[in-house]
């Protein structure tokens, strides 16, 4: 008996769909693209492990954390943000997330910094976004302006080379100033003179997980200097002489190296050998500093002051595009006890496209950047496996 043509077509379509279905089941999972500059493997991501709060002493919210002078339990700390008036909406989004997940319980003050005065609208809307105190600070010109020893002609020539190497923001002098300020000047602002701990927040970032303890007290009570969520590789051609300058500095001051430093982490050449080569000995792995929880006493130490001044005089904040993230990371990796650096695995955080998404029922709506081939690309840029390898899970 002949089968009608439409029925044959339907049968064929059904077979094709079945084959496609089988393929989706058996096809290989996402794998990291191999390239000359990546020798990594798909390590098991510790974010997949159930993650609760850190061990050690934790202090919970209590009456002592009420807003204003009733907040007797708060320690000497502030949330801080360098931000432009035009970034108000993004700042409000970051504030909403951090207030919802953490600060509405602890009411730490927000300190905003700007190189121009904040607008009334900025002040009014950010004040309305928190019960905590808000402070608005102008950066002194001598902290923001290009220092006298930087040559304008040499800067312009250097920008051309950076642009040939496709370094983003090379021609934006404000970006260079911002990186320098975040590296070695923010903690010298008079408004922070009596403040010790800070949590750095940028506009347009996301926080996903409820945090039920005072993170500043955690830092203090557990003797931690610095906390991070994400580590990434940097563009090596933005920092070709940062490591050589650092090597010169160490040669002048070998006594500054901490006996329990993270030199092996900083100089890893196995995972991304080309990065290490182009950065002249530095892996380029850095704590992603748009999130930082830190103890400013470290930045205020003589060691860091000397290191920053050495780098500042060398000119790379302008003639190259040294970021505050590699500068902070190298200083911490060399001059601090590595056991005092803490991975906040429980703080869900994202600055697009990178994220820290803990596996915990305290986290909601973590955006894991799943775009085309996203996982492989993100894994390649993420150097946390190296931190875990050389230093541990903290």
381 belongs to the binding site for ligand GDP (CB under 6 A): no
Which residue lies nearer to ligand GDP by CB, 290 or 356?
A: 290
At closest approach, how far in Å is the CB of 325 from ligand GDP?
9
Complex with ligand GDP: residue 320 or 336, whichever CB lies closer: 320
Contact 59, 68 (CB under 8 A): no
Active site residue 292: yes
Nearer to Mg ion, 43 or 202 (CB): 202
State which of positions 272-311 bind ligand GDP (CB under 6 A): 290
Write down the least CB distance from residue 118 to ligand GDP, Å: 9
Burial of 108 (0-12, 13-18, 19+ CB in 10 A): buried
Give the nearest distance from C-beta 23 to ligand GDP in angstroms.
Answer: 40
Q: 53 vs 202, which CB is nearer to Mg ion?
A: 202
Among 31, 35, 174, 270, binds ligand GDP (CB under 6 A): 174
Q: Should residue 84 be labelled a site residue for ligand GDP when binding is judged by CB under 6 A?
A: yes
Q: Which span (24-32, 42-50, 82-90, 253-261) binds ligand GDP, by CB under 6 A?
A: 82-90
Complex with ligand GDP: residue 65 or 317, whichever CB lies closer: 317
Listing from the earlier edge strand, what are the strands of the sheet with 349-351?
A: 206-207, 349-351, 354-356
Q: Which one is catalytic: 87, 99, 292, 320? A: 292
Q: Least distance (Å) from Mg ion to the CB of residue 199? A: 16
Q: Which does 84 bind (CB under 5 to 8 A by kind): ligand GDP, Mg ion, none?
A: ligand GDP
Residue 202 binding ligand GDP, by CB under 6 A: yes
Contact (Cβ atoms closer than 8 angstroms) between residue 348 and residue 358: yes
Segment 103 to 132, residues that bind ligand GDP, using CB under 6 A: 114-115
User: Which does residue 88 bind out of Mg ion, ligand GDP, none, counting CB within 5 to 8 angstroms by kind?
Assistant: none
- Tokens 């931190």 belong to residue: 387
Q: Which residues bind Mg ion (CB under 5 A)?
A: 202
Q: What whole-number distance in Å separates Cα of residue 209 and Cα of residue 365?
A: 9
- Secondary structure of the chain in HEC code, one letter for each residue: CCCCHHHHHHHHHHHHHHHHHHHHHHCCCCCCCCECCECCCCCCCHHHCECCCCCCCCCECCHHHCCHHHCCCCCCEEEEEECCHHHHHHHHHHHHHHHHHHHHHHCCCEEEEECCCCCHHHHHHHHCCCCCCEEEEECCHHHHCCCCCCCHHHHHHHHHHHHHCCCCCCCCHHHHHHHHHHHHCHHHCHHHCCCCEEEECCCCCEECECCCECHHHHHHHCCCCEEECCEEECCHHHCCCHHHHHHHHHHHCHHHCCCCCCHHHHCCCCCCHHHHHHCCCCCCEEECCCCEEEEHHHHCCHHHHHHHHHHHHHCHHHHCCCCHHHHHHHHHHHHCCHHHEEECCCCCEEECCEEECCECCCECCCCCCCCCCHHHHHHHHECHHHHHHHCCCC
Rounded-to-integer distance, Cα 269 and Cα 276, Å: 5
- The one of Mg ion, ligand GDP, none whose footprint includes residue 47, by CB under 5 to 8 A per kind, is none
**Minimum distance, C-beta of residue 275 to ligand GDP, in the bound complex (Å):** 18
Q: Give the range of 77-85, 145-153, 262-270, 312-320 binding ligand GDP by CB under 6 A.
A: 77-85
| 83 touches, from Mg ion, ligand GDP, none (C-beta below 5 to 8 Å by class) | ligand GDP
The window from 32-40, 79-87, 219-227, 248-256 that contacts ligand GDP (CB under 6 A) reads 79-87
Closest CB 203 distance from Mg ion, rounded Å: 7
Of these partners, Mg ion, ligand GDP, none, which one is at the site of residue 183 (CB under 5 to 8 Å by kind)? none
Nearest approach, Cβ of 205 to ligand GDP (angstroms)?
9
**Complex with ligand GDP: residue 230 or 262, whichever CB lies closer:** 230
Active site residues: 292
Residue ranges in contact with ligand GDP by CB under 6 A: 82-84, 87, 114-115, 174, 178, 202-203, 290
């Amino acid at each position: 008996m002949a089968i009608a043509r439409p029925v044959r077509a339907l049968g064929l379509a059904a077979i094709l769909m079945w084959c496609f279905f089988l393929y989706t089941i058996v096809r290989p999972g996402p794998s990291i693209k191999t390239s000359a500059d990546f020798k990594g493997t798909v390590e098991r991501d510790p974010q997949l492990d159930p993650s609760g709060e850190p061990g050690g002493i934790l202090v919970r919210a209590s009456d002592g954390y009420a807003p204003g002078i009733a907040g007797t339990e708060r320690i000497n700390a502030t949330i801080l943000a360098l931000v432009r008036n035009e970034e108000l909406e993004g700042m409000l989004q970051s504030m909403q997330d951090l207030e919802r997940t953490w600060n509405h319980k602890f009411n730490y003050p927000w300190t905003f910094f700007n190189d121009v005065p904040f607008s009334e609208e900025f002040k009014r809307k950010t004040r309305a976004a928190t019960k905590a105190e808000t402070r608005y600070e102008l950066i002194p010109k001598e902290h923001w302006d290009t220092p006298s020893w930087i040559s304008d002609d040499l800067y312009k020539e250097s920008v051309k080379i950076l642009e040939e190497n496709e370094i983003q923001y090379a021609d934006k002098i404000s970006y260079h100033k911002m990186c320098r300020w975040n590296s070695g000047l923010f903690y010298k602002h008079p408004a922070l003179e009596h403040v010790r701990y800070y949590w750095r927040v940028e506009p347009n970032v996301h926080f996903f997980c409820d945090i039920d303890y005072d993170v500043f007290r955690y830092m203090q009570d557990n003797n931690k200097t610095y906390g991070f969520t994400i580590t990434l590789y940097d563009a090596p051609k933005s920092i070709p002489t940062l490591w050589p300058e650092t090597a010169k500095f160490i040669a002048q001051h070998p006594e500054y190296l901490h006996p329990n430093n993270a030199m092996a982490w900083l100089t890893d050449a196995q995972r991304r050998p080309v990065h290490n080569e182009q950065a002249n000995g530095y892996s380029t792995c850095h704590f992603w500093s748009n999130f930082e929880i830190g103890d400013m006493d470290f930045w205020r130490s003589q060691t860091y002051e000397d290191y920053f001044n050495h780098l500042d005089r060398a000119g790379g904040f302008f003639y190259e595009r040294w970021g505050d993230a590699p500068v902070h990371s190298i200083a911490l990796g060399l001059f601090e006890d590595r056991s005092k650096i803490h991975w906040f695995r429980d703080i869900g955080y994202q600055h697009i496209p990178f994220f820290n998404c803990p596996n915990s029922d305290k986290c909601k709506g973590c955006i894991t950047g799943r775009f085309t081939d996203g996982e492989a690309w993100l894994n390649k840029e993420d150097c946390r496996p190296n931190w875990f390898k050389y230093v541990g899970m903290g």
